[in-house]
Amino acid sequence: MDRKLLLVFALTFLVMMLFQPLMKKYGPQPPAKPENPQPAAQNQAQLPTQPSTQLPPRASTPAASAPASATALHAATESETVIENGVYRIVFTNRGGRVKSWILKKYTDDKGAPLELVNATAAEQYGYPLTLWSYDETLRNHLNSALYVATSTSTTAPTEIEFAYADSEVSVQKTFKFDANSYVVDVRTSVAVKGTPVTAFPMWPSGFGADMTGPQYATAQIAYQYDDKVERLAIKKISGGGTIQGPLQWAGVSDQYFAAVFLPQDPRNAALVTLRNAIEIPHGGDSQQKDKIDVLGAAVGSLRGPTNDRIYVGPKALADLESVSVPGITGAEPDLRAIIDFGWLGLIARPLFLWLKWMYGHIVANWGWAILLQTLIINLTLMPLRISQMKSMLKMQRVAPQIKSIQEKYKKYSLRDPEKAKMNEEISALYKTEGVNPAGGCLPLLIQMPFFFAYYRMLGVAMDLRHAPWLWVRDLSAPDPHHIIPIAIVVTMLVMQRMTPQAGMDPAQQKMMNIMMPGMFGVMSWNMAAGVGLYWSAGQLIGIAQQSVMNRTSLGREMREMMEKRARKKEK
């Protein structure tokens, strides 16, 4: 019964892993993006859980009676301004008052180069960071192509840079303020047409430059917090140009490891515009063959006049996110930690990560060895469950002949016959007399499985494991390049299956399970993150050592004798 339950869990886990790519291929496709995005009600209906039903004002040209800009203000040529602090280097251009480059100094990309967060390919087509979103496409293109006059006090933070532009109809001001050692930038923007303020949001429109492959792009999502609730929208749930109304405490776009999140100073009047566009990237390094993938973006600002935001652009590292305060809402996190999605087992996954990080900082200064140490402690803690499971299996095996006798006694009755109910009553009475808990063999497994799934989720979102080396593994967040860890998982499972007493299981069925289960888990782990595989294989090795000791106890010997006796009966 335990092995069947384990098989069910394994198959469920396999389905979970295969579900997303199958949905991507065969699931319902979102409606096509209209040529001229409109803030219409149908766009909002495609997005779940709208905090408000108010429609945003359309950015339209005001009445002719409104006063025009008094003085033209624009630059003659394009120029660049570099702003640096301890964690980033940002290159602004006065064309559109936008960001051309945003490099995080503490991180590198998959090729070892400085980490560039601006996705040049997508930005060239769909917009660069901190350009302005307007519902009027003509106005939007004008705002983001004009030559602004740039004024800055210094190129080293703390500092401030201002971009200003004006012509006969449009006037724009964009001001950015930078701290000395923070990933947060203050953003203030205002746009007026013929003297009347219009809706124009600062945006991060085109994903991240850190994304290099299709699977990395697929981790993108838009997330936002309204009041005490956090909503996460995967790619397939997002309609380009859709509007989500406030109140919004924070909102933005993220991938597996990085985020660009706006924090409106006026949450009640804030709105989020979701952006989704397609680009082509080389297929597996082949420049001739292209894959079409989606990139996500977000624009966040005020529906009532100028926008005053803070924007966090940086890693989804827990310590950095917790340093960014969010205005207090009862029942909500006081900072940006909720951007990290630990999943439905977050109550286990987050403490596991904090514990792992503590061991890395205080005991072993390597993430791989910290994982091994944590695995050892977890398995030793769960050892009483293994012993309890063996005891339960032994008790079930002892009463198996009596249960079989009771079943034979009532075999002639159909399931609908009232006499059949007496069979269950007799079996229950036998369990009570002998002190047998029918779920005793399953319960330890049910307790252990959440730890595995929580660990799998935790290591999948842990920024600290990105590019973290261990022995031959260069990146614990990526698959083992030599597939040594997946092979170790298969070998250790084969050994574990042979060593573990499997009382009550038919020998033929046992033989099949001993081959099928390791093979299936080997396939599942082949391209799994090396950190997760390390936890899994190390747990199997510890389990082998524990089982070896348990097999030498009186309990283990009795289990094996009963198995051998049953096998001899089967042969006869």
Question: Mind giving me the DSSP string for 128-148?
Answer: -TTEEE-SSHHHHHHHTTSBP
The torsion of the CA quartet 549, 493, 9, 341, rounded to 10 degrees, works out to: 100
pLDDT score recorded for residue 38: 38
Q: Is the Cα torsion angle 8, 13, 17, 22 positive or negative in sign?
A: positive
Q: How far apart are CA 133 and CA 56, in angstroms?
A: 13
Rounded to 5 degrees, φ, ψ at 165 are -150, 145
| Percent of the chain topping pLDDT 90 | 38
pLDDT band at 52; cut points 50, 70, 90: very low
pLDDT band at 53; cut points 50, 70, 90: very low
Structure tokens at 522: 């080997």
For residue range 512-544, list pLDDT tens digits in order: 666 777 778 778 888 888 888 898 889 889 888
For residue range 236-261, list pLDDT tens digits in order: 888 888 999 989 999 999 998 999 99
Q: Between 4 and 46, whose confidence is greater?
A: 4
Max Cα distance, the chain (Å) = 104
For residue range 455-500, list pLDDT tens digits in order: 888 888 888 888 899 999 988 988 898 999 999 988 888 888 777 6
Q: What does the DSSP 8-state code read for residue 282? A: E
pLDDT band at 32; cut points 50, 70, 90: very low
Q: How far apart are CA 82 and CA 103, in angstroms?
A: 11
Average pLDDT for 223-248: 89
Average pLDDT for 257-269: 93
The torsion of the CA quartet 321, 322, 323, 324, rounded to 10 degrees, works out to: 60
Structure tokens at 135: 């519902």
Residue 171 near residue 143 (C-beta atoms within 8 A): no
Strand partners for 273? 243, 299
Choose among 165, 206, 172, 178: nearest CA to 191: 172
Domains of the chain from N-terminus onward? 2-18+355-571 (no CATH), 74-331 (2.70.98.90)
Q: How far apart are CA 122 and CA 126, in angstroms?
A: 6
Task: Check whether 501 has a pLDDT greater than 70.
Answer: no
pLDDT band at 437; cut points 50, 70, 90: confident
Rounded to 5 degrees, φ, ψ at 221 are -155, 160
pTM over the 0.85 mark: no
Question: Mind giving me the DSSP string for 39-90?
Answer: --HHHHHTSS--S--PPPPP-----TTSPPPSS-B--SS--EEEEE-SSEEE
